[in-house]
Amino acid sequence: MINVLFVCLGNICRSPMAEALFRNLVKKENLTSKIAVDSAATSSWQIGFPPHEGTLDILKKYKISSEGLIGRTLKKEDFWRFDYIVGMDESNLKNIYRITNKPNHPKIIRLLDLTRYRKDIPDPFFTGDFDETYRLVSSGCRALLNKIRSEHNL
């Protein structure tokens, strides 16, 4: 099983959106027996909470299930559980490096570095623009799935 973890600051906006979107892509490609998906936060503010209403609304708009999305904190041992740890922005990456004690490890990547955008995904908790976040996360998730398919001959 290939394990993918999406990470953002609070695990209520970007990373659960990426988890749901990526899980949907994996399902459409009939890869659910090969790829597992989760998400986590680098903070502990929203642990145990469902995603932000804006994230839930955008997932509903695109008919993507939000079932099972609950905020949790990234743990040091997640480094060993996951094959890909995907941050939404540079700040997330720095926090992932600090929490896992694995700075600049190749399994830790910024999602949009896999795309033509090569930038941070703005946090819609602060910008309010869940449509932009969805567009960027969607592009990144498609690129990540292509990367995994290529690296694992799927």
**Per-residue pLDDT tens digits of the chain, which is 154 residues long:** 999 999 999 999 999 999 999 999 999 999 999 999 999 999 988 889 999 999 999 999 999 999 999 999 999 999 999 999 999 999 999 999 999 999 989 999 999 999 998 999 999 999 999 999 999 999 999 999 999 999 999 9
Locate 98 and state its tokens. 């600090």
Residues composing the chain: 154
- Amino acid 86: pLDDT: 98
Structure token digits, residue 123: 């946090």
8, 78, 89, 120: the catalytic one is 8
116 in catalytic set: no
The owner of tokens 């994996």 is: 26
CATH class of 2-151: alpha beta
Number of Cβ within a 10 Å radius of residue 95: 19
123 is catalytic: yes
Catalytic residue (one of 38, 78, 120, 123)? 123
Residue 26 has a pLDDT of 98
14 counts as catalytic: yes
Which residue in 13, 14, 120, 141 is the catalytic one?
Answer: 14
